[in-house]
Amino acid sequence: MRGPPWRRRAGWTVHYGLLALYVGFALFPLYWLFKVSVTPNDLLYSEGVRLWPSHMTLDHYASVIRHTDFPLYFENSTIVSTATAAFATAFAALAGYAFSRFAFRGKTGLVGLMLLTQMFPLVMIIAPIFRLLAPLGLTNSLTGLVLVYTAFNVPFATFLMQSFFDAIPRELEEAAMIDGATRLGALLRIILPLTLPGVAATLGFVFTAAWSELLFALMLNSSPEASTFPVGLLSFVSKFSVDFGQMMAAGVLALIPVCAFFFLIQRYLVQGLTAGAVKG
Amino acid sequence: MSAIDIVGVHKQFGATQVLRGIDLAIPSGEFVVLVGPSGCGKSTLLRVIAGLEDVSAGDITIAGRRVNDLAPKDRDLAMVFQSYALYPHMTVRDNMSYSLKLRRTAPEAIASAVKRAAAKLGLAGLLERKPRALSGGQRQRVAMGRAIVRAPKAFLFDEPLSNLDARLREQMRYEIRKLHRDLGATSIYVTHDQIEAMTMADRIVAMNEGVVQQVGTPDALYDDPANTFVAGFIGSPAMNFLVGTATSRDGGTDITVGRERLVRLRLMPPTSDGQVTVGLRPERTMLSRSGAGARATIDLIEPTGLGSVVHLDLDGQLLKLFTTDRARLEPAEAVVIDVRPDDVLLFDPATGARLRPLS
């Protein structure tokens, strides 16, 4: 932004004004979620639309934690999402590295196949997957869910990781190999530290996808012991009423792990780690 | 025994032939420069020696050991890349000690080796910095330091100076030569810059289209090129190639360009139709105002400070010559070209091969 000071200031104002508008728009539903979660049930319908209830309560949170299966769902979701993120990212990193660095027979075919897996509506393949998993005892089990989530997330995660590997100059690992490292050594000690932003992004992506997945979780696991949190949310919807207060409280609680996860990885998400590797 | 022997090396990528039968013996301690235009296969040859690419056919021997099936890490070479390829997440010290650490060298030995190399390259004050906090020239030095910190069997340089500005390049050219003098290590240096090749090499290997065109000292390639490729590639401004006619009689050969008789040479082998390509170095072609030589007209004069490049019209053909003589030449002036017979090189127009006197 160039020009006289007043113009720069005006530009700045418009720029950030628009950004603020967008952020407000995007975050408003979250605000509403929080607002409803602290609104007492008797005020929920009686007060009309207000930005903040006339008095707030944490009763919904208390009852979600004490009187429902939510802590269990929570635990299940955490286990499933963490495991899925770890497995999918590990596979995707190895596959992405291979796609990025090696020329091998059937590479194009393999890429095509991976793309193909992304093209079906999931609803179509739920029945076959159920049929496959049931005899193996993998329905009503967290393992089954991890397996399915990993399988469905690996292709996209692979493309993601491949693009991160592509951005790292080949000469770096060549230099390491001439310096005396094996290819795997170069990958682990030179390339992987530089791909941490990519690994973090992939972990985050897969974790969030697994955390919020409903369809498979609902269809494959019917027992409460193996239910994840999105399935649990549905339990607040009964035939005759919806317990919005508790539902929203559970929703807010469900945000916490995701936020915590991104808080943990955000410093790796910062780009520019490879600056200075090559000329400049 | 040679330090590095390359015998009948072929390399193809799919259907593309990149190296077509390279034979080269590099004696221990020699500084060899591979030079050629981009795509000539010089970098591929270097990468094949390093083990970063497999050969399609042929053998590579380092210090008497066939290394075709050896991984890069087991060939005991050091390489400086064009892009430097510094490890961005490591400090200069870690960059330089990485290869020694991988070889399980004792920490005290590493520390002293890094210290010595850093002192040699003027990096002593920068050891704790990360590459991104260095200038281009400093990064280049770190890349050099990473190579010289251990004593490999040979150094490989892949256009290490092409990312530097002209002044720095000249300085590093000199420093690399000096390092070579001090370390005496066998070095293979790849460049597309013929000046770099001329100034640095003990021996130049001129390559084109995957074939070695000529191997020799810089002077040999300049004075006695084997073909039009080498003649045209080495030297700046580039050699003139004129279409001429050779007529042999009375134990000598007369060279005519257009209607102008240029020079009489010792007896030359005949070409199929009497046509020859006449090579004249701009700086070895003289002008006089009168005399018996071929007549030409001055077309254009480019002053370069050191001298001038004079564009001449020699019966319809362009001839450039370089002169430091600040004679008051004027465009459109008629002049006479004066060359010594030894400075006129003849080539076969069909093959580009050099034609040498018969006796």
* pLDDT digits (tens), chain A, 280 positions: 567 788 888 989 999 999 999 999 999 999 999 998 898 888 877 777 778 888 888 888 988 888 888 889 889 999 999 999 999 999 999 999 999 998 889 999 999 998 888 888 888 888 899 999 999 988 888 999 999 999 999 999 999 899 889 988 999 999 999 999 999 999 989 998 888 888 888 998 899 899 988 888 888 888 888 888 888 888 887 777 778 888 888 889 888 888 888 888 777 766 544 444 444 3
Residues of B in contact with A190 (CB under 8 A): 87
Cis peptide bond upstream of B27, omega within 30 = no
Which residue from B minimizes the CA distance to A194? Answer: B89
**Are A178 and B77 in contact (CB < 8 Å)?**
yes
Q: What is the pLDDT at residue B1?
A: 55
Prediction ipTM score: 0.85
Which residue from B minimizes the CA distance to A191? Answer: B87
Parallel/antiparallel/unpaired status of strands B344-347 and B354-355 = antiparallel
Give every CB contact of residue B127 below 8 A, 6+ residues apart in sequence: B91, B92, B93, B96, B114, B118
DSSP A30: H
Residues of B in contact with A193 (CB under 8 A): 89
Q: What percent of chain B has pLDDT over 70?
A: 100
pLDDT over 90 (residue B109): yes
**Are A190 and B87 in contact (CB < 8 Å)?**
yes
| Chain B residues whose C-beta sits inside 8 Å of any chain A C-beta | 50-52, 71-73, 75, 77-79, 81-89, 98-99, 102-103, 130-134, 136, 139, 146, 163
Q: What is the pLDDT at residue A70?
A: 85
Q: Looking at the DSSP assignment, which residues form a beta bridge with residue B296?
A: B335
Residue A193 has its nearest CB partner, among B86, B89, B132, at B89
Q: What is the pLDDT at residue A81?
A: 94
pLDDT over 60 (residue B114): yes
Are the C-beta atoms of residues B24 and B55 closer than 8 Å to each other?
A: no
Are the C-beta atoms of residues B245 and B294 closer than 8 Å to each other?
A: no
Torsion sign over Cα B120, B125, B129, B133: negative
Q: What is the pLDDT at residue A2?
A: 62
Measure the CA–CA gap between A271 and A168, rounded to whole angstroms: 12
* B257 Cα distance to chain centroid: 31
Q: What is the pLDDT at residue A225?
A: 84
Residues of B in contact with A178 (CB under 8 A): 50-52, 72-73, 75, 77-79
Chain A residues 136-175 with a CB less than 8 Å from chain B? 169, 171-172, 174-175
**Are B89 and A169 in contact (CB < 8 Å)?**
no
Mean pLDDT of B328-345: 90
Measure the CA–CA gap between A11 and B124, rounded to whole angstroms: 47
Measure the CA–CA gap between B140 and B191, rounded to whole angstroms: 15
Tokens 């021997």, residue located? B61
Are the C-beta atoms of residues B319 and B312 closer than 8 Å to each other?
A: yes
pLDDT band at B223 (very low <50, low <70, confident <90, very high): very high
Q: What is the pLDDT at residue A271?
A: 55
Measure the CA–CA gap between B215 and B207, rounded to whole angstroms: 9
Q: What is the pLDDT at residue A272?
A: 40
Q: How many Cβ atoms are within 10 Å of A48's Cβ, its own excluded?
A: 6
Candidates B73, B157, B172, partner chain A, best to mutate (most A CBs within 10 A): B73
Q: What is the pLDDT at residue B31?
A: 96
Average pLDDT, chain B: 92
Q: Looking at the DSSP assignment, which residues form a beta bridge with residue B312?
A: B298, B319
User: What separation, in Å, do the N-terminal and C-terminal C-alpha atoms of chain A show?
Assistant: 25
Determine which helix (DSSP H) or strand (DSSP E) holds B5, and give its type and residue range: strand B2-13
**Are A277 and B78 in contact (CB < 8 Å)?**
no
**Are A182 and B71 in contact (CB < 8 Å)?**
yes
State the nearest Cα–Cα gap between B17 and chain A, in angstroms. 18
Give one word for B84, left, alpha or beta, with left for phi > 0 and alpha for psi -120 to 50: left
Q: What is the pLDDT at residue B163?
A: 87
Mean pLDDT of B319-337: 87
Measure the CA–CA gap between B32 and B207, rounded to whole angstroms: 13
Determine which helix (DSSP H) or strand (DSSP E) holds A59, and give its type and residue range: helix A59-67
Q: What percent of chain B has pLDDT over 90?
A: 76
Which residue from A minimizes the CA distance to B135? Answer: A280
Q: What is the pLDDT at residue A270?
A: 60
Q: How far is CA B157 from CA A235, B54, B176, B194, B282, in A?
A: 68, 19, 10, 15, 31
Measure the CA–CA gap between B56 and B13, rounded to whole angstroms: 9
pLDDT over 90 (residue B62): yes
Mean pLDDT of B233-259: 92
Residues of A in contact with B78 (CB under 8 A): 178-179
